[in-house]
Amino acid sequence: MWLGSKLHATLPKLIVVTPTYNRSAQIPDLVRLKQTLNLVPHCDWIVVEDALQPNDHVYNYIRDFKSGALLYVSQQSRDPIFRGKEQRNKALQLIRRTASKNPEMEAVVYFADDDNSYDSNFLHSLRYTKQIAIFNVGLVTNRTLEGPLVENNTVIGFRTGFFGNRSFCIDMAGFAVNIQLLLKFPESNFSTARRGRMETEFLSTFNIPLNEFEYFHGKNGIHVWHTQTKNFAISKPDLTIIPANKTATNILAINEKDAITARSTKGKEIRDKDNESVL
Residue positions annotated with a catalytic role: 199
- CA pair distance 117, 76, nearest whole angstrom: 25
Burial of residue 103 (number of CB atoms within 10 Å: 0-12, 13-18, 19+):
exposed
- Give the chain's end-to-end CA distance (angstroms, integer): 6
- CA pair distance 20, 131, nearest whole angstrom: 26
Contacts of 49 (CB under 8 A, 6+ apart): 20, 21, 55, 58, 72, 73, 74, 75, 87
